[in-house]
Structure 1
Amino acid sequence: MEEKVVITQGKYLTSAVKKEQYPEVQRKEFVFIGRSNVGKSSLINSLTRVHQLARVSSQPGKTQTINFYEIGAKLGDNPERKDFYLVDLPGYGYAKTGAKRRKIWSQFINEYLLSSETLQFVCQLIDIRHEPMASDIEMFRWLVEHNLPVLVVATKADKVSRNGVAKSIAQIKNALGVPELDVLPYSSVKNTGREELLQVIGESLVH
């Protein structure tokens, strides 16, 4: 029987654009990355069930820093709380962001991803309603090339039919060039996929 993961607390901790601003206390980190407006903030709020923990904006490209959230969870019957970080990275591929700004963003994102000693895996969010775009494919390949564990999460799963979900996931696997890839459909509105994602996080916390 798999242990149930129950989130007991969640709070915004800090924002960073350079190493000196990362949290002083090292904890296991679970990272969220995706195109602007893919639903990262909504997913973090759904996962933690902390209302407006991550601010949801209708304006793409709003997150311009690496945001750290400190989360506490109980695993199964273990009374001891496990603390970890959810890390929200700025959205990539937003056209209105100037080239110079994009370059600065990509530098500090890359620096974080390559220097974190406690990163467990990266959740790359892709909108289930659309084929992965060039920036999605580029980001996925970059993560794989740098040996960073990736879990692809197909967001906004409530926006397509059940048959549509299967079709879209096949499309994502095909576009990323990995037929055996695990893709997790997620709906922040209906919390579909929440338990599965918490389970993967829980497994990382006990190892």
Structure 2
Amino acid sequence: MVIREASFLSSNTQVAACPAPDRPEYAFIGRSNVGKSSLINMLTGRLALAKISSTPGKTQVINHFMINDEWYLVDLPGYGYARVSKSSRADWGKMIKAYLTKRENLTCVCVLLDSRHAPQAVDLEFMAWLGEAGVPFVMIFTKADKQSATRTQELVDAYLRQMQEQWDELPRHFITSAETGAGREAVLGFVDEVNRQLAAEAPSK
């Protein structure tokens, strides 16, 4: 997939205020500081499309971006640690849950996982919740450039082994690096594949 256009559309805290659900939508979410903004910028080829911060929990709203006038990319608030009040975290949790369960054109959730760490309970619990809620998702491992390829694969395999204890069929996974661009073609190829499938299944006008 060639990214010809990528532009910011809107920020919202209410699902009802999000852009019209007239295109496939891919939402990116992960623990705070997992490298979400950097990954979004790498995928779109725009250095500052998503704002990068060293402060965990910086994203506090649902950010919509239009890609090629064909699909929406959504930047969701991170979960887990963030230097904010418990009440704010609770509000974000409600907002994220409402979005994930009510957004009718949500095509896939891209769950970002730091490839440098062993399986984290909060990530496994979140993915289990997605499964129970019937929300399609894929796993995207970030920051693969920060260690050897062998170490990255060991930790990815550890995640997959733990996932196999709960899942009959594992979700697709991708290994990426915002620094080197690794995984970009695979992730965008997946989006393109799903978009084409949706277009083929759509009733003709």
Same fold? TM cut 0.5? yes
Superimposed CA distance per residue, residues 47-79 of structure 1 (whole angstroms, 9 cap, x where no aligned partner)? 00012000111111000001001110xxxxxxx
Partner residue, 2:187: 197
The separation in 2 between residues aligned to 1:121 and 1:25, in whole angstroms, is: 14
1:122 aligns with 2:109: yes
Residue identity in the other structure for 1:167 = E
* Residue 132 of structure 1: how far off its partner (Å): 2.6
Residue identity in the other structure for 1:10 = A
Partner residue, 1:86: 73
The separation in 2 between residues aligned to 1:155 and 1:57, in whole angstroms, is: 16
Q: TM-score scaled to structure 1, two decimals?
A: 0.89
Unaligned runs of 5+ in 1: 73-81
Partner residue, 2:175: 185
Question: Is this contact kept in 2: 1:169–1:183, CA < 8 A?
Answer: no
What secondary structure is seen at the aligned counterpart in 1 of 2:49?
coil
Q: TM-score scaled to structure 2, two decimals?
A: 0.90
The separation in 1 between residues aligned to 2:80 and 2:119, in whole angstroms, is: 12
The separation in 1 between residues aligned to 2:105 and 2:169, in whole angstroms, is: 27
The separation in 2 between residues aligned to 1:22 and 1:37, in whole angstroms, is: 25
* Residue 144 of structure 1: how far off its partner (Å): 0.8
Unaligned runs of 5+ in 2: 198-205
Residue identity in the other structure for 2:133 = H
* Equivalent residue in structure 2 for 1:51, among 39, 47, 60: 47
What secondary structure is seen at the aligned counterpart in 1 of 2:112?
strand
Partner residue, 1:169: 156
What secondary structure is seen at the aligned counterpart in 2 of 1:105?
helix
* Residue 19 of structure 1: how far off its partner (Å): 2.3
Question: Is this contact kept in 1: 2:56–2:82, CA < 8 A?
Answer: no
Residue identity in the other structure for 1:59 = T
Superimposed CA distance per residue, residues 180-201 of structure 1 (whole angstroms, 9 cap, x where no aligned partner)? 6332110011110100001110
Mean Cα deviation higher: 19-28 or 186-195:
19-28
* Residue 98 of structure 1: how far off its partner (Å): 2.1
Partner residue, 1:109: 96
1:64 aligns with 2:60: yes
* Residue 24 of structure 1: how far off its partner (Å): 3.0
Partner residue, 2:24: 28
* Equivalent residue in structure 2 for 1:159, among 142, 146, 154: 146
The separation in 1 between residues aligned to 2:21 and 2:131, in whole angstroms, is: 27
The separation in 2 between residues aligned to 1:27 and 1:18, in whole angstroms, is: 18
What secondary structure is seen at the aligned counterpart in 2 of 1:14?
strand
Aligned residue pairs total: 194
The share of aligned pairs that are identical, in percent, is 42
Residue identity in the other structure for 1:195 = E
Residue identity in the other structure for 1:202 = D
The separation in 2 between residues aligned to 1:107 and 1:25, in whole angstroms, is: 20
- RMSD of aligned alpha carbons: 1.5
